[in-house]
Chains A and B, each alone.
Chain A
């Protein structure tokens, strides 16, 4: 009876998912304190109509993934759903027990993970993984499922749709793998797909293709979707409605147009307007501090050329941004400058003297002047060393500081990166993503360098946190007069930090000059593609961008 009632109610409203007063808790083990329970999601309610797309957006820790996964009754990493109802297709899935969930997952609800590369099993062919859920649920025979998969590959515009299923995950590119994963989710014809940051790990030029493919597939299959991301511009392209979350609470819920055009809450407004940092471009000085002269570098004993005749200059106290997609050789340029990958030809001139090609040939003083900050702050710091050791080591190593003098300087540096003294004894695992990157910045500053190479330092961070890091870097540049070589694929970042820009494509510098010069039309085809691929917070941008571009992206 109750079942019938629910079904008829559902038919009337077309409501697919109804989350009511969802409460999610987890037990944490803080240092030096007894374990306690914290609430990650506070009584959030939301609904999703059939065939609609709901965007969930917020910073890390806002609970967006946690809420998304609750629609499959799943709590990641010891997270418990302790209250509320998750009603899917008219029944509360939290009451269905293990058996009920097993029937639900992979059939009614499917999941697309952020990192497809990590989510695929490298030991099995793509096709076997794509049709697995369909076969296990017995909704189709293998032949039917494979036919369906091939049709989906076509729809997602994957190359060689007939044969791509025979490949292994490492044999296709990241953007393709993400689309195969979408095909996997669609294959069992579910009612709902949870997309968990599906394009965050991709280059802008690849992101736009994947985004378009996902959008088309959603439209053609009439599946409903929860689209989780921290990028408002991305979610604006695909969703009908947007839910803004913060600290596990619902901040604002409205139509896409209303959220991005007329945000009602202050926090939403902050998210919408986050990207702009005003940065006055500095004119290049007379003598460059670091010149890269005709550098050619290769991996594999000269077989794979990754840098071809690259020349750029960096002036004291200024920022050179190196832009390009993955594989364009921008990180390799950093490795050639630091001496990690000795160039085959060409030289690096620093302060008027030619630097040794190999790391081992360089004196300590040269090493001190050139510091580096990495993309992944968590692996750039030794997890077994405290913040005090991490920041203090360059002080000991370069300046011979010991004991109290060293601790005092560490405290000063912590102050400079806007973190308190209390962090000195913490381990990296006890810091948030933004704090980790700040500690890495302090470590490089401790050496009092003239140049810091920043390799995608904000790519792994939330927009608001990245914004803070960029501001910090700009402030530090004012105070310490340090120059930056800023490697990134994000053009919004470039606009807010660079004085000059070098655009790299397949190991060559295709466009180079001051910021205003590089960002002023007429553009070459590649710069145009890069610029037009940066998502804009505008409805209908995606279609316009796809229609208007002049070349295909390489990641395709």
Chain B
């Protein structure tokens, strides 16, 4: 059904790049020439050479290796946080639309409350109180982001919930499970997928922000955002080490969205993507 020749060029580029990132993340220990925390040079910020392709960082660690390990941490956290925010936000949003009444009111006001506090401030407060580990990080990011997904999916589902086919399902006596997952979800997928691409990148950026502020991934591990922070002082001396993780974030953002756009195009078709 999926014909590789029919995939547009932009989507192909996106798929190839995203796959590369994922492969690097998965096989990091086997690909990386050096260890994550291994100091290979006495001089910080060694320039690019045949030994160290991307040079070394502020502590003289191999930047390429750290980039590869960083991909692992960045993607792992961002993927899990996005997955959490989407399952939580979408299910609650759809339920609010279907059940309505007090369930909807309480949940929506709660979300409003959460959203009224700037995400970053909220994240900073919560993370500085809670123990700093991966689980809390993912939970905090996922829950904060799920408020946005909730708003979107509720809005979309409210429109779908009044369609005749949903009414027909209710008349048939279907339970809310069928209505949410079989009637509403497939029809809400397009806006959700487009939001997914965007939200994933926000998760990467948010993680970078947190790490930059010292509340995200703790050293010696580092995600790409943390690596920008570690190497930012080098910029003053004309050393590009900070720009490399920044570029990686940008490339990931673009490639993931190229894929999301293409998936979006396919899911909007009402003829099963055959047209």
Contacts and interface: CB of A to CB of B under 8 A. Distances in A.
B274 A31 contact: yes
Nearest to B274: A31
A430 B274 CA distance: 11
A79 interface: no
B106 to A, nearest CB: 21
B51 interface: no
B9 interface: no
Given A382-B183, A382-B186, A430-B271, A372 B165 contact: no
Contact of A393 (B172, B187, B270): B172
B164 A374 contact: yes
B8 interface: no
A29 B275 contact: yes
A31 B171 CA distance: 32
Interface string A426-465: 0111100000000000010001000000000000000000
Contacts of A372: 168, 171
B38 interface: no
A430 B275 CA distance: 10
B270 A383 contact: yes
A367 B164 contact: no
Interface in B170-195: 170-174, 182-183, 186-187
A359 interface: yes
A380 interface: yes
A523 interface: no
A32 interface: yes
Interface in A376-399: 376, 379-386, 393-394, 397
Contact of B275 (A31, A362, A380): A31
Interface string B158-170: 0000011101111
Nearest to A379: B164
- Grouping DSSP codes into helix (H, G, I), strand (E, B) and loop, the B interface class, with mixed when no group exceeds half, is helix
A428 B270 CA distance: 8
Contacts of B187: 382-384
A19 B271 CA distance: 36
A368 B172 CA distance: 7
A533 interface: no
Contacts of B270: 383-384, 427-429
B124 to A, nearest CB: 41
B165 A379 contact: yes
Interface string B237-275: 000000000000000000000000000000000111011
B271 A429 contact: yes
B186 to A, nearest CB: 4
B274 A397 contact: no
Nearest to B1: A32
A338 interface: yes
B125 to A, nearest CB: 42
A381 B271 CA distance: 13
A368 B183 CA distance: 19
B275 A376 contact: no
24 contacts: A338-B171, A340-B170, A340-B171, A359-B171, A362-B173, A367-B173, A372-B168, A374-B168, A376-B164, A379-B163, A379-B164, A380-B164, A382-B187, A384-B186, A384-B187, A385-B182, A393-B172, A427-B271, A427-B272, A428-B270, A429-B270, A430-B271, A443-B168, A447-B172
Interface of B: 163-165, 167-174, 182-183, 186-187, 270-272, 274-275
Interface of A: 29-32, 338, 340, 359, 362, 364, 367-368, 370-372, 374, 376, 379-386, 393-394, 397, 427-430, 443, 447
Q: Closest 8 interchain pairs by CB? A: A384-B186, A429-B270, A31-B274, A380-B164, A367-B173, A382-B165, A29-B275, A379-B164
